[in-house]
Protein backbone atom coordinates (compact mmCIF):
# COMPACT_ATOMS: atom_id res chain seq x y z
CA UNK A 1 0.00 0.00 0.00
CA UNK A 2 1.49 3.32 -1.05
CA UNK A 3 0.95 6.45 1.05
CA UNK A 4 -1.52 9.12 -0.03
CA UNK A 5 1.27 11.58 -0.77
CA UNK A 6 2.80 9.41 -3.45
CA UNK A 7 -0.66 8.58 -4.71
CA UNK A 8 -1.31 12.33 -5.10
CA UNK A 9 1.95 12.67 -7.00
CA UNK A 10 0.96 9.72 -9.19
CA UNK A 11 -2.40 11.36 -10.06
CA UNK A 12 -0.52 14.54 -10.89
CA UNK A 13 1.75 12.68 -13.29
CA UNK A 14 -1.15 10.81 -14.88
CA UNK A 15 -3.20 13.97 -15.40
CA UNK A 16 -0.11 15.82 -16.63
CA UNK A 17 0.63 13.13 -19.19
CA UNK A 18 -2.97 13.22 -20.36
CA UNK A 19 -2.82 17.01 -20.70
CA UNK A 20 0.41 16.91 -22.70
CA UNK A 21 -0.94 14.18 -24.96
CA UNK A 22 -4.06 16.22 -25.58
CA UNK A 23 -2.05 19.36 -26.34
CA UNK A 24 -0.03 17.40 -28.91
CA UNK A 25 -3.25 15.95 -30.30
CA UNK A 26 -4.65 19.46 -30.59
CA UNK A 27 -1.61 21.14 -32.13
CA UNK A 28 -0.25 18.39 -34.38
CA UNK A 29 -2.86 18.85 -37.16
CA UNK A 30 -2.26 22.61 -37.17
CA UNK A 31 1.52 22.15 -37.50
CA UNK A 32 1.07 19.45 -40.13
CA UNK A 33 -1.13 21.81 -42.13
CA UNK A 34 1.59 24.44 -41.97
CA UNK A 35 4.31 21.96 -42.91
CA UNK A 36 2.42 20.45 -45.85
CA UNK A 37 1.62 23.88 -47.26
CA UNK A 38 5.33 24.18 -48.09
CA UNK A 39 5.47 20.92 -50.06
CA UNK A 40 6.79 20.81 -53.63
CA UNK A 41 4.68 21.26 -56.78
CA UNK A 42 4.05 17.50 -56.97
CA UNK A 43 3.15 17.26 -53.28
CA UNK A 44 -0.17 15.75 -52.35
CA UNK A 45 -2.49 16.25 -49.43
CA UNK A 46 -0.44 14.11 -47.05
CA UNK A 47 3.15 12.94 -46.47
CA UNK A 48 5.60 12.47 -48.18
CA UNK A 49 6.02 16.15 -49.00
CA UNK A 50 7.94 15.69 -52.33
CA UNK A 51 10.33 18.55 -51.71
CA UNK A 52 9.87 21.97 -50.22
CA UNK A 53 8.78 25.08 -52.08
CA UNK A 54 6.58 28.11 -51.96
CA UNK A 55 4.73 26.71 -54.99
CA UNK A 56 1.32 26.53 -53.31
CA UNK A 57 1.57 30.05 -51.95
CA UNK A 58 2.40 31.24 -55.48
CA UNK A 59 -0.59 29.23 -56.66
CA UNK A 60 -2.82 31.15 -54.26
CA UNK A 61 -1.40 34.39 -55.58
CA UNK A 62 -1.61 33.36 -59.25
CA UNK A 63 -5.35 33.24 -59.73
CA UNK A 64 -7.28 31.21 -62.26
CA UNK A 65 -10.85 31.88 -63.25
CA UNK A 66 -12.10 28.83 -61.35
CA UNK A 67 -10.37 29.48 -58.08
CA UNK A 68 -9.34 32.95 -57.21
CA UNK A 69 -9.02 33.50 -53.50
CA UNK A 70 -8.13 37.18 -53.63
CA UNK A 71 -11.62 38.70 -54.07
CA UNK A 72 -13.07 36.49 -51.27
CA UNK A 73 -10.11 37.44 -49.09
CA UNK A 74 -10.77 41.13 -49.74
CA UNK A 75 -14.49 40.69 -49.04
CA UNK A 76 -13.82 38.79 -45.80
CA UNK A 77 -11.40 41.46 -44.63
CA UNK A 78 -13.76 44.36 -45.43
CA UNK A 79 -16.69 42.54 -43.85
CA UNK A 80 -14.67 41.74 -40.73
CA UNK A 81 -13.54 45.36 -40.44
CA UNK A 82 -17.11 46.59 -40.76
CA UNK A 83 -18.27 44.08 -38.13
CA UNK A 84 -15.45 45.15 -35.82
CA UNK A 85 -16.38 48.84 -36.05
CA UNK A 86 -20.10 48.15 -35.59
CA UNK A 87 -19.36 45.83 -32.66
CA UNK A 88 -17.19 48.47 -31.00
CA UNK A 89 -19.83 51.21 -31.26
CA UNK A 90 -22.87 49.12 -30.35
CA UNK A 91 -21.24 47.11 -27.55
CA UNK A 92 -19.80 50.20 -25.87
CA UNK A 93 -23.23 51.83 -26.03
CA UNK A 94 -24.92 48.71 -24.71
CA UNK A 95 -22.44 48.21 -21.86
CA UNK A 96 -22.74 51.89 -20.90
CA UNK A 97 -26.52 51.41 -20.94
CA UNK A 98 -26.16 48.41 -18.56
CA UNK A 99 -24.38 50.69 -16.11
CA UNK A 100 -27.53 52.81 -16.09
CA UNK A 101 -29.53 49.70 -14.99
CA UNK A 102 -32.48 50.66 -17.20
CA UNK A 103 -35.82 48.91 -16.83
CA UNK A 104 -35.63 45.47 -18.40
CA UNK A 105 -31.82 45.23 -18.34
CA UNK A 106 -32.11 41.59 -17.23
CA UNK A 107 -34.05 40.74 -20.39
CA UNK A 108 -31.56 42.72 -22.47
CA UNK A 109 -28.70 40.66 -21.03
CA UNK A 110 -30.46 37.37 -21.88
CA UNK A 111 -31.21 38.68 -25.39
CA UNK A 112 -27.50 39.23 -25.92
CA UNK A 113 -26.69 35.78 -24.47
CA UNK A 114 -29.20 34.28 -26.92
CA UNK A 115 -27.05 35.65 -29.75
CA UNK A 116 -24.16 33.51 -28.46
CA UNK A 117 -26.25 30.42 -27.70
CA UNK A 118 -28.35 30.37 -30.90
CA UNK A 119 -26.53 28.16 -33.45
CA UNK A 120 -25.39 29.83 -36.67
CA UNK A 121 -27.24 27.32 -38.79
CA UNK A 122 -30.61 28.31 -37.28
CA UNK A 123 -29.96 32.06 -37.32
CA UNK A 124 -28.57 32.02 -40.86
CA UNK A 125 -31.34 29.83 -42.23
CA UNK A 126 -34.10 31.78 -40.49
CA UNK A 127 -32.69 35.09 -41.66
CA UNK A 128 -32.41 33.82 -45.24
CA UNK A 129 -36.11 32.84 -45.18
CA UNK A 130 -37.03 36.24 -43.76
CA UNK A 131 -35.13 38.02 -46.54
CA UNK A 132 -36.80 35.80 -49.12
CA UNK A 133 -40.24 36.68 -47.77
CA UNK A 134 -39.35 40.37 -47.71
CA UNK A 135 -37.99 40.10 -51.25
CA UNK A 136 -34.51 41.34 -50.30
CA UNK A 137 -31.59 40.26 -52.49
CA UNK A 138 -28.89 38.39 -50.56
CA UNK A 139 -25.47 39.99 -50.64
CA UNK A 140 -22.26 39.72 -48.63
CA UNK A 141 -22.20 43.42 -47.73
CA UNK A 142 -25.82 43.72 -46.59
CA UNK A 143 -27.49 40.51 -45.36
CA UNK A 144 -24.29 38.74 -44.32
CA UNK A 145 -23.15 41.87 -42.52
CA UNK A 146 -26.42 42.10 -40.56
CA UNK A 147 -26.25 38.45 -39.48
CA UNK A 148 -22.56 38.48 -38.60
CA UNK A 149 -22.93 41.50 -36.31
CA UNK A 150 -25.61 39.59 -34.37
CA UNK A 151 -22.84 37.03 -33.70
CA UNK A 152 -19.94 39.39 -32.93
CA UNK A 153 -21.94 41.96 -30.93
CA UNK A 154 -22.71 39.77 -27.86
CA UNK A 155 -19.01 38.87 -27.47
CA UNK A 156 -18.06 42.54 -27.66
CA UNK A 157 -20.82 43.33 -25.17
CA UNK A 158 -19.54 40.76 -22.63
CA UNK A 159 -16.00 42.12 -23.07
CA UNK A 160 -17.18 45.68 -22.43
CA UNK A 161 -19.23 44.57 -19.40
CA UNK A 162 -16.09 42.99 -17.94
CA UNK A 163 -14.14 46.19 -18.70
CA UNK A 164 -16.69 48.37 -16.92
CA UNK A 165 -16.77 45.95 -13.96
CA UNK A 166 -13.11 46.66 -13.27
CA UNK A 167 -13.53 50.36 -13.97
CA UNK A 168 -12.79 52.81 -11.15
CA UNK A 169 -15.79 55.17 -11.16
CA UNK A 170 -14.06 57.60 -8.79
CA UNK A 171 -12.18 59.21 -11.71
CA UNK A 172 -15.52 59.94 -13.37
CA UNK A 173 -16.89 61.29 -10.11
CA UNK A 174 -13.90 63.62 -9.80
CA UNK A 175 -14.47 65.02 -13.30
CA UNK A 176 -18.21 65.46 -12.70
CA UNK A 177 -17.62 67.14 -9.34
CA UNK A 178 -15.26 69.55 -11.07
CA UNK A 179 -18.12 70.60 -13.32
CA UNK A 180 -17.57 68.60 -16.51
CA UNK A 181 -20.76 67.52 -18.28
CA UNK A 182 -21.53 63.80 -18.52
CA UNK A 183 -20.74 63.77 -22.23
CA UNK A 184 -17.42 65.57 -21.76
CA UNK A 185 -16.51 63.25 -18.90
CA UNK A 186 -17.25 60.22 -21.03
CA UNK A 187 -15.26 61.57 -23.97
CA UNK A 188 -12.26 62.91 -22.03
CA UNK A 189 -12.02 60.56 -19.04
CA UNK A 190 -13.95 57.31 -19.53
CA UNK A 191 -13.17 56.61 -23.18
CA UNK A 192 -9.37 56.98 -22.97
CA UNK A 193 -9.36 54.61 -19.98
CA UNK A 194 -11.39 51.89 -21.66
CA UNK A 195 -9.65 52.11 -25.06
CA UNK A 196 -7.69 48.83 -24.65
CA UNK A 197 -10.98 47.04 -23.86
CA UNK A 198 -12.61 48.66 -26.88
CA UNK A 199 -9.76 47.46 -29.09
CA UNK A 200 -10.18 43.98 -27.58
CA UNK A 201 -13.89 44.01 -28.45
CA UNK A 202 -13.02 45.12 -31.98
CA UNK A 203 -10.45 42.36 -32.49
CA UNK A 204 -12.99 39.88 -31.14
CA UNK A 205 -15.49 41.12 -33.71
CA UNK A 206 -12.94 41.02 -36.49
CA UNK A 207 -11.74 37.46 -35.91
CA UNK A 208 -15.22 36.02 -35.26
CA UNK A 209 -16.55 37.58 -38.46
CA UNK A 210 -13.48 36.61 -40.48
CA UNK A 211 -13.83 32.91 -39.54
CA UNK A 212 -17.61 32.69 -39.64
CA UNK A 213 -19.01 29.98 -41.89
CA UNK A 214 -22.62 28.87 -41.17
CA UNK A 215 -24.16 32.35 -40.84
CA UNK A 216 -22.46 33.51 -44.03
CA UNK A 217 -23.38 30.41 -45.97
CA UNK A 218 -27.12 30.99 -45.89
CA UNK A 219 -27.03 34.74 -46.40
CA UNK A 220 -24.20 35.31 -48.85
CA UNK A 221 -25.68 35.80 -52.31
CA UNK A 222 -23.49 35.47 -55.42
CA UNK A 223 -20.08 36.63 -54.05
CA UNK A 224 -18.39 34.36 -51.50
CA UNK A 225 -16.28 35.20 -48.45
CA UNK A 226 -13.03 33.34 -47.72
CA UNK A 227 -14.40 30.44 -45.59
CA UNK A 228 -17.06 29.81 -48.25
CA UNK A 229 -14.48 29.90 -51.05
CA UNK A 230 -12.31 27.43 -49.11
CA UNK A 231 -15.28 25.10 -48.57
CA UNK A 232 -16.23 25.31 -52.26
CA UNK A 233 -12.66 24.46 -53.26
CA UNK A 234 -12.71 21.56 -50.79
CA UNK A 235 -15.74 20.15 -52.59
CA UNK A 236 -13.96 20.28 -55.96
CA UNK A 237 -10.45 19.16 -55.16
CA UNK A 238 -8.16 19.11 -52.14
CA UNK A 239 -4.70 20.47 -52.93
CA UNK A 240 -2.00 21.92 -50.66
CA UNK A 241 -3.28 25.29 -51.88
CA UNK A 242 -6.02 25.02 -49.26
CA UNK A 243 -3.34 24.25 -46.67
CA UNK A 244 -1.48 27.42 -47.71
CA UNK A 245 -4.61 29.51 -47.21
CA UNK A 246 -5.30 27.74 -43.91
CA UNK A 247 -1.78 28.45 -42.69
CA UNK A 248 -2.05 32.13 -43.60
CA UNK A 249 -5.47 32.45 -41.93
CA UNK A 250 -4.24 30.69 -38.78
CA UNK A 251 -1.16 32.92 -38.55
CA UNK A 252 -3.41 35.93 -39.04
CA UNK A 253 -5.70 34.83 -36.17
CA UNK A 254 -2.72 34.10 -33.92
CA UNK A 255 -1.39 37.62 -34.48
CA UNK A 256 -4.83 39.06 -33.68
CA UNK A 257 -5.05 37.02 -30.43
CA UNK A 258 -1.56 38.08 -29.39
CA UNK A 259 -2.46 41.74 -29.94
CA UNK A 260 -5.70 41.25 -28.00
CA UNK A 261 -3.97 39.54 -25.03
CA UNK A 262 -1.29 42.20 -25.03
CA UNK A 263 -3.89 44.99 -25.05
CA UNK A 264 -5.78 43.51 -22.07
CA UNK A 265 -2.52 42.92 -20.21
CA UNK A 266 -1.47 46.55 -20.84
CA UNK A 267 -4.85 47.75 -19.59
CA UNK A 268 -4.65 45.66 -16.41
CA UNK A 269 -1.15 47.01 -15.83
CA UNK A 270 -2.17 50.63 -16.32
CA UNK A 271 -5.20 50.33 -14.01
CA UNK A 272 -3.24 48.51 -11.30
CA UNK A 273 -0.53 51.20 -11.42
CA UNK A 274 -3.18 53.82 -10.95
CA UNK A 275 -4.56 52.04 -7.91
CA UNK A 276 -1.18 51.69 -6.26
CA UNK B 1 -22.15 58.92 -9.62
CA UNK B 2 -20.92 58.00 -13.07
CA UNK B 3 -21.24 59.15 -16.66
CA UNK B 4 -24.69 57.63 -16.83
CA UNK B 5 -27.61 58.27 -14.47
CA UNK B 6 -29.34 55.21 -13.04
CA UNK B 7 -32.66 54.46 -14.75
CA UNK B 8 -32.28 57.51 -16.98
CA UNK B 9 -33.91 57.64 -20.43
CA UNK B 10 -30.39 57.91 -21.88
CA UNK B 11 -29.45 54.45 -20.58
CA UNK B 12 -32.59 53.07 -22.18
CA UNK B 13 -31.94 54.68 -25.57
CA UNK B 14 -28.31 53.53 -25.60
CA UNK B 15 -29.51 49.92 -25.39
CA UNK B 16 -32.10 50.25 -28.15
CA UNK B 17 -29.86 49.79 -31.25
CA UNK B 18 -28.26 46.58 -29.94
CA UNK B 19 -31.61 45.20 -28.75
CA UNK B 20 -33.30 46.01 -32.06
CA UNK B 21 -30.47 44.35 -33.99
CA UNK B 22 -30.65 41.16 -31.92
CA UNK B 23 -34.44 41.02 -32.08
CA UNK B 24 -34.54 41.56 -35.84
CA UNK B 25 -31.73 39.20 -36.77
CA UNK B 26 -31.94 36.43 -34.15
CA UNK B 27 -35.36 36.31 -32.48
CA UNK B 28 -37.69 37.12 -35.40
CA UNK B 29 -36.01 34.72 -37.88
CA UNK B 30 -36.13 31.85 -35.36
CA UNK B 31 -39.84 32.46 -34.67
CA UNK B 32 -40.34 32.64 -38.43
CA UNK B 33 -38.67 29.22 -38.82
CA UNK B 34 -41.23 27.66 -36.48
CA UNK B 35 -44.07 29.26 -38.43
CA UNK B 36 -42.72 28.21 -41.85
CA UNK B 37 -42.35 24.60 -40.68
CA UNK B 38 -46.16 24.42 -40.40
CA UNK B 39 -46.88 25.83 -43.85
CA UNK B 40 -48.90 23.64 -46.18
CA UNK B 41 -49.83 24.20 -49.80
CA UNK B 42 -47.58 24.60 -52.80
CA UNK B 43 -46.62 28.27 -52.81
CA UNK B 44 -44.07 29.84 -50.52
CA UNK B 45 -46.07 32.70 -49.06
CA UNK B 46 -47.44 33.93 -45.76
CA UNK B 47 -50.96 32.97 -46.83
CA UNK B 48 -50.15 29.23 -46.72
CA UNK B 49 -52.54 27.11 -44.63
CA UNK B 50 -51.04 25.64 -41.45
CA UNK B 51 -50.69 21.85 -41.22
CA UNK B 52 -48.71 19.14 -39.47
CA UNK B 53 -48.02 17.40 -42.82
CA UNK B 54 -44.38 18.50 -42.98
CA UNK B 55 -43.69 16.83 -39.63
CA UNK B 56 -45.69 13.74 -40.52
CA UNK B 57 -43.65 13.38 -43.70
CA UNK B 58 -40.39 13.65 -41.76
CA UNK B 59 -41.31 11.05 -39.15
CA UNK B 60 -42.75 8.69 -41.76
CA UNK B 61 -39.28 8.35 -43.29
CA UNK B 62 -37.25 5.76 -41.35
CA UNK B 63 -33.94 7.12 -42.69
CA UNK B 64 -34.54 10.55 -41.17
CA UNK B 65 -35.63 9.16 -37.80
CA UNK B 66 -32.51 6.97 -37.70
CA UNK B 67 -30.43 10.02 -38.58
CA UNK B 68 -31.98 11.96 -35.69
CA UNK B 69 -31.18 9.04 -33.35
CA UNK B 70 -27.59 8.79 -34.51
CA UNK B 71 -27.20 12.56 -34.07
CA UNK B 72 -28.23 12.21 -30.43
CA UNK B 73 -25.89 9.23 -29.90
CA UNK B 74 -22.99 11.04 -31.59
CA UNK B 75 -23.55 14.17 -29.50
CA UNK B 76 -23.77 12.14 -26.27
CA UNK B 77 -20.50 10.36 -27.12
CA UNK B 78 -18.73 13.67 -27.65
CA UNK B 79 -20.15 15.12 -24.45
CA UNK B 80 -18.86 12.13 -22.47
CA UNK B 81 -15.38 12.17 -24.04
CA UNK B 82 -14.84 15.94 -23.90
CA UNK B 83 -16.38 16.09 -20.41
CA UNK B 84 -13.98 13.57 -18.86
CA UNK B 85 -10.97 14.80 -20.83
CA UNK B 86 -11.78 18.45 -20.20
CA UNK B 87 -12.23 17.90 -16.45
CA UNK B 88 -8.89 16.07 -16.15
CA UNK B 89 -7.08 18.84 -18.03
CA UNK B 90 -8.82 21.62 -16.08
CA UNK B 91 -8.00 19.90 -12.77
CA UNK B 92 -4.37 19.43 -13.76
CA UNK B 93 -3.95 23.03 -14.92
CA UNK B 94 -5.48 24.65 -11.85
CA UNK B 95 -4.61 22.23 -9.03
CA UNK B 96 -1.43 20.41 -10.02
CA UNK B 97 0.67 23.01 -11.84
CA UNK B 98 2.41 25.05 -9.15
CA UNK B 99 4.50 27.51 -11.17
CA UNK B 100 2.35 30.43 -12.43
CA UNK B 101 4.44 30.79 -15.59
CA UNK B 102 4.04 27.13 -16.54
CA UNK B 103 0.34 27.29 -15.74
CA UNK B 104 -0.07 30.34 -17.99
CA UNK B 105 1.97 28.74 -20.81
CA UNK B 106 0.02 25.46 -20.70
CA UNK B 107 -3.27 27.32 -20.45
CA UNK B 108 -2.43 29.44 -23.48
CA UNK B 109 -1.33 26.37 -25.45
CA UNK B 110 -4.70 24.89 -24.56
CA UNK B 111 -6.95 27.81 -25.50
CA UNK B 112 -5.13 29.55 -28.37
CA UNK B 113 -6.32 27.17 -31.14
CA UNK B 114 -9.86 28.03 -30.07
CA UNK B 115 -9.29 31.48 -31.57
CA UNK B 116 -8.38 30.22 -35.01
CA UNK B 117 -10.88 29.17 -37.65
CA UNK B 118 -12.82 26.02 -36.74
CA UNK B 119 -13.18 25.25 -40.43
CA UNK B 120 -9.42 25.34 -40.99
CA UNK B 121 -8.84 23.18 -37.89
CA UNK B 122 -11.28 20.63 -39.26
CA UNK B 123 -9.50 20.70 -42.64
CA UNK B 124 -6.19 20.21 -40.80
CA UNK B 125 -7.37 16.71 -39.86
CA UNK B 126 -7.59 15.60 -43.52
CA UNK B 127 -3.85 14.80 -43.94
CA UNK B 128 -4.12 12.66 -40.79
CA UNK B 129 -7.16 10.59 -41.53
CA UNK B 130 -6.88 9.51 -45.18
CA UNK B 131 -5.97 6.03 -46.42
CA UNK B 132 -2.38 7.27 -46.92
CA UNK B 133 -2.74 9.65 -43.99
CA UNK B 134 -0.38 10.17 -41.09
CA UNK B 135 -2.27 7.82 -38.74
CA UNK B 136 -2.23 4.93 -41.22
CA UNK B 137 1.42 5.55 -42.12
CA UNK B 138 2.33 5.50 -38.44
CA UNK B 139 0.30 2.36 -37.75
CA UNK B 140 1.93 0.53 -40.66
CA UNK B 141 5.39 1.76 -39.68
CA UNK B 142 4.94 0.50 -36.13
CA UNK B 143 3.58 -2.72 -37.56
CA UNK B 144 0.13 -2.71 -36.00
CA UNK B 145 -1.47 -3.30 -39.39
CA UNK B 146 -0.15 -4.45 -42.77
CA UNK B 147 -2.66 -2.61 -44.94
CA UNK B 148 -4.11 0.84 -44.32
CA UNK B 149 -7.34 1.08 -42.35
CA UNK B 150 -10.07 2.92 -44.18
CA UNK B 151 -11.92 3.71 -40.98
CA UNK B 152 -10.74 7.29 -40.47
CA UNK B 153 -11.50 9.74 -43.28
CA UNK B 154 -15.15 9.72 -44.33
CA UNK B 155 -16.16 7.92 -41.16
CA UNK B 156 -17.85 8.59 -37.84
CA UNK B 157 -14.57 7.82 -36.03
CA UNK B 158 -12.75 10.53 -37.96
CA UNK B 159 -15.49 13.06 -37.26
CA UNK B 160 -15.38 12.22 -33.54
CA UNK B 161 -11.59 12.51 -33.43
CA UNK B 162 -11.63 15.95 -35.02
CA UNK B 163 -14.52 17.22 -32.91
CA UNK B 164 -12.84 16.08 -29.68
CA UNK B 165 -9.88 18.29 -30.58
CA UNK B 166 -12.21 21.16 -31.46
CA UNK B 167 -14.51 21.16 -28.44
CA UNK B 168 -12.62 19.85 -25.38
CA UNK B 169 -11.65 23.44 -24.60
CA UNK B 170 -15.35 24.34 -24.28
CA UNK B 171 -15.93 21.58 -21.73
CA UNK B 172 -12.83 22.53 -19.74
CA UNK B 173 -13.08 26.34 -19.70
CA UNK B 174 -16.01 26.69 -17.27
CA UNK B 175 -14.50 23.98 -15.01
CA UNK B 176 -11.24 25.95 -14.80
CA UNK B 177 -13.28 28.98 -13.76
CA UNK B 178 -15.14 27.06 -11.03
CA UNK B 179 -11.99 25.32 -9.74
CA UNK B 180 -10.29 28.70 -9.40
CA UNK B 181 -13.15 30.01 -7.29
CA UNK B 182 -12.85 27.24 -4.64
CA UNK B 183 -11.23 28.59 -1.49
CA UNK B 184 -8.11 26.52 -0.61
CA UNK B 185 -9.23 26.61 3.04
CA UNK B 186 -12.13 24.29 2.19
CA UNK B 187 -9.82 21.51 1.01
CA UNK B 188 -7.42 22.12 3.87
CA UNK B 189 -10.26 21.82 6.38
CA UNK B 190 -11.33 18.50 4.89
CA UNK B 191 -7.73 17.23 4.90
CA UNK B 192 -7.28 18.31 8.53
CA UNK B 193 -10.36 16.29 9.40
CA UNK B 194 -8.56 13.26 7.91
CA UNK B 195 -10.57 12.89 4.73
CA UNK B 196 -8.59 10.89 2.14
CA UNK B 197 -7.83 12.78 -1.12
CA UNK B 198 -10.43 10.89 -3.13
CA UNK B 199 -13.15 11.74 -0.60
CA UNK B 200 -12.07 15.38 -0.61
CA UNK B 201 -12.41 15.39 -4.38
CA UNK B 202 -15.71 13.56 -4.52
CA UNK B 203 -17.45 15.28 -1.61
CA UNK B 204 -15.96 18.80 -1.74
CA UNK B 205 -14.32 19.70 -5.05
CA UNK B 206 -16.56 17.96 -7.56
CA UNK B 207 -19.91 19.25 -6.22
CA UNK B 208 -18.51 22.79 -6.22
CA UNK B 209 -17.41 22.51 -9.86
CA UNK B 210 -20.65 20.88 -11.02
CA UNK B 211 -22.07 24.14 -12.48
CA UNK B 212 -18.92 24.48 -14.59
CA UNK B 213 -19.26 20.90 -15.80
CA UNK B 214 -22.89 21.44 -16.77
CA UNK B 215 -22.21 24.71 -18.61
CA UNK B 216 -19.32 23.08 -20.47
CA UNK B 217 -21.57 20.18 -21.45
CA UNK B 218 -24.23 22.61 -22.72
CA UNK B 219 -21.64 24.40 -24.87
CA UNK B 220 -20.36 21.12 -26.33
CA UNK B 221 -23.91 19.89 -26.86
CA UNK B 222 -25.03 23.03 -28.72
CA UNK B 223 -21.91 23.17 -30.87
CA UNK B 224 -21.81 19.51 -31.84
CA UNK B 225 -25.53 19.46 -32.64
CA UNK B 226 -25.13 22.35 -35.07
CA UNK B 227 -21.65 21.63 -36.44
CA UNK B 228 -22.41 20.59 -39.99
CA UNK B 229 -19.15 22.00 -41.37
CA UNK B 230 -16.83 19.49 -39.64
CA UNK B 231 -19.15 16.62 -40.56
CA UNK B 232 -19.18 17.77 -44.19
CA UNK B 233 -15.40 18.28 -44.30
CA UNK B 234 -14.39 14.97 -42.75
CA UNK B 235 -17.45 12.84 -43.36
CA UNK B 236 -17.60 13.83 -47.03
CA UNK B 237 -21.09 13.15 -48.30
CA UNK B 238 -21.14 9.70 -46.73
CA UNK B 239 -22.12 10.86 -43.27
CA UNK B 240 -24.71 13.35 -42.14
CA UNK B 241 -26.22 14.57 -38.91
CA UNK B 242 -29.45 16.52 -38.45
CA UNK B 243 -27.75 19.84 -39.15
CA UNK B 244 -26.47 18.56 -42.51
CA UNK B 245 -30.02 17.59 -43.36
CA UNK B 246 -31.08 21.24 -42.96
CA UNK B 247 -28.44 22.19 -45.50
CA UNK B 248 -29.36 19.36 -47.85
CA UNK B 249 -33.03 20.33 -47.92
CA UNK B 250 -32.16 24.02 -48.22
CA UNK B 251 -29.93 23.41 -51.23
CA UNK B 252 -32.71 21.31 -52.76
CA UNK B 253 -35.09 24.28 -52.27
CA UNK B 254 -37.24 22.23 -49.87
CA UNK B 255 -37.58 25.13 -47.46
CA UNK B 256 -40.42 23.62 -45.46
CA UNK B 257 -38.64 20.32 -44.92
CA UNK B 258 -35.49 22.21 -43.96
CA UNK B 259 -37.38 24.27 -41.41
CA UNK B 260 -38.96 21.11 -39.93
CA UNK B 261 -35.47 19.72 -39.32
CA UNK B 262 -34.33 23.11 -37.99
CA UNK B 263 -37.23 23.20 -35.55
CA UNK B 264 -36.51 19.63 -34.39
CA UNK B 265 -32.89 20.64 -33.87
CA UNK B 266 -34.08 23.65 -31.90
CA UNK B 267 -36.37 21.48 -29.73
CA UNK B 268 -33.48 19.08 -28.95
CA UNK B 269 -31.33 22.04 -27.96
CA UNK B 270 -34.04 23.59 -25.81
CA UNK B 271 -34.59 20.29 -23.98
CA UNK B 272 -30.86 20.05 -23.39
CA UNK B 273 -30.53 23.61 -22.08
CA UNK B 274 -33.63 23.35 -19.86
CA UNK B 275 -32.42 20.03 -18.43
CA UNK B 276 -29.06 21.64 -17.67
CA UNK B 277 -30.71 24.63 -16.00
CA UNK B 278 -32.61 22.28 -13.72
CA UNK B 279 -29.28 21.05 -12.40
CA UNK B 280 -27.62 24.46 -12.22
CA UNK B 281 -29.13 27.82 -11.45
CA UNK B 282 -27.20 29.90 -13.97
CA UNK B 283 -28.24 33.22 -12.43
CA UNK B 284 -26.69 32.32 -9.06
CA UNK B 285 -23.26 31.70 -10.59
CA UNK B 286 -22.03 35.25 -10.15
CA UNK B 287 -23.43 35.51 -6.61
CA UNK B 288 -21.18 35.13 -3.58
CA UNK B 289 -21.38 31.89 -1.72
Between residues A64 and A109, the one the model is more confident about: A109
Inter-residue contact A183 to B10 (CB < 8 Å) = no
Specify the pLDDT at position A197.
84
Determine what percent of chain A is predicted with pLDDT higher than 70. Answer: 90
Mean pLDDT, chain A, as a whole number?
A: 83
Determine what percent of chain B is predicted with pLDDT higher than 70. Answer: 92
A39 pLDDT higher than 80: no
CA separation for the pair B118, B123 (Å, rounded): 9
Span A64-275: which CATH code? Answer: 1.10.3720.10
CA separation for the pair A149, B188 (Å, rounded): 47
Q: Chain B residue with minimal CA distance to A144?
A: B25
Residue range B178-235, pLDDT digits in tens: 888 888 888 788 878 887 878 888 888 888 888 889 989 998 999 898 888 888 888 7
Among partner residues A120, A129, A250, which is closest to B255 by beta-carbon distance? A129
Inter-residue contact B249 to B234 (CB < 8 Å) = no
CA separation for the pair A251, B221 (Å, rounded): 29
Give residue A89's pLDDT band: very low, low, confident or very high (50, 70, 90): very high
State yes or no: ipTM above 0.90: no
* CA distance, residue A65 to nearest chain B CA (Å): 23
Specify the pLDDT at position A224.
85
Specify the pLDDT at position A67.
65
Q: Chain B residue with minimal CA distance to A88?
A: B18
Residue range A161-189, pLDDT digits in tens: 888 888 888 888 888 889 888 888 888 88
Inter-residue contact B117 to A253 (CB < 8 Å) = yes
What are the b/e assignments for B155-170, b being 16+ CB within 10 Å? bbebbbbbbbbbbbbb
Q: List, in order of start, the domains of chain B with CATH numbers.
A: 50-283 (1.10.3720.10)
Give residue B1's pLDDT band: very low, low, confident or very high (50, 70, 90): low
Residues of A in contact with B258 (CB under 8 A): 125
Q: Which of A133-142, A259-268, B116-125 has the lowest mean pLDDT?
A: A259-268
B263 pLDDT higher than 50: yes
A104 pLDDT higher than 80: yes
A60 pLDDT higher than 80: no
Specify the pLDDT at position B287.
45
Give residue A43's pLDDT band: very low, low, confident or very high (50, 70, 90): low
**Residue A39 phi, psi dihedral angles, 5° rounding:** -75, 165
Determine what percent of chain A is predicted with pLDDT higher than 90. Answer: 15
Inter-residue contact B170 to B220 (CB < 8 Å) = yes
Specify the pLDDT at position B289.
37
Those of residues 193-222 in A touching chain B at CB distance below 8 A are: 207, 210-211, 213-214, 217-218
Between residues A275 and B213, the one the model is more confident about: B213
Among partner residues A23, A101, A231, which is closest to B6 by beta-carbon distance? A101
Q: Which of A134-138, B51-55, B76-80 has the lowest mean pLDDT?
A: B51-55
Q: Which of A31-40, A119-128, A146-155 has the lowest mean pLDDT?
A: A31-40
Among partner residues B1, B127, B222, which is closest to A119 by beta-carbon distance? B222
Mean pLDDT, chain B, as a whole number?
A: 83
CA separation for the pair B39, B258 (Å, rounded): 12
Distances (CA, A) of A224 to A70, A71, A218, A219: 11, 8, 11, 10
Residues of B in contact with A32 (CB under 8 A): 124, 127-128, 134
Residues of B in contact with A22 (CB under 8 A): 85, 89, 168
Amino acid sequence: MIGWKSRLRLTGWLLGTLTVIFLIYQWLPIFTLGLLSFSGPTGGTTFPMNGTSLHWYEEVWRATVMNDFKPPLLRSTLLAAACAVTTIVLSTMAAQAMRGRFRGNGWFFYLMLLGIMAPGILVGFGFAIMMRLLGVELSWDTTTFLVQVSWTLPFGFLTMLAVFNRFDTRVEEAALTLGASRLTTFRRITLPLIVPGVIGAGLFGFSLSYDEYPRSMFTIGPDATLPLAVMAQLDRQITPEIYAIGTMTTLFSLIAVTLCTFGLWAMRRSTSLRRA
Amino acid sequence: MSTIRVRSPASYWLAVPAAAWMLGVVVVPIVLLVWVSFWGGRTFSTTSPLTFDNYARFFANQTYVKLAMSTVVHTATLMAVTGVLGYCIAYFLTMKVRSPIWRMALFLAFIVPFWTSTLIRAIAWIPFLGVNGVINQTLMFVGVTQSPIEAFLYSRTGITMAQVSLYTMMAAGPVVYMLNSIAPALREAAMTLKAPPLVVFWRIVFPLTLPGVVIGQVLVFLNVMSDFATVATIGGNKHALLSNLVLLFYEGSQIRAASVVAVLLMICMLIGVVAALRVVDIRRLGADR
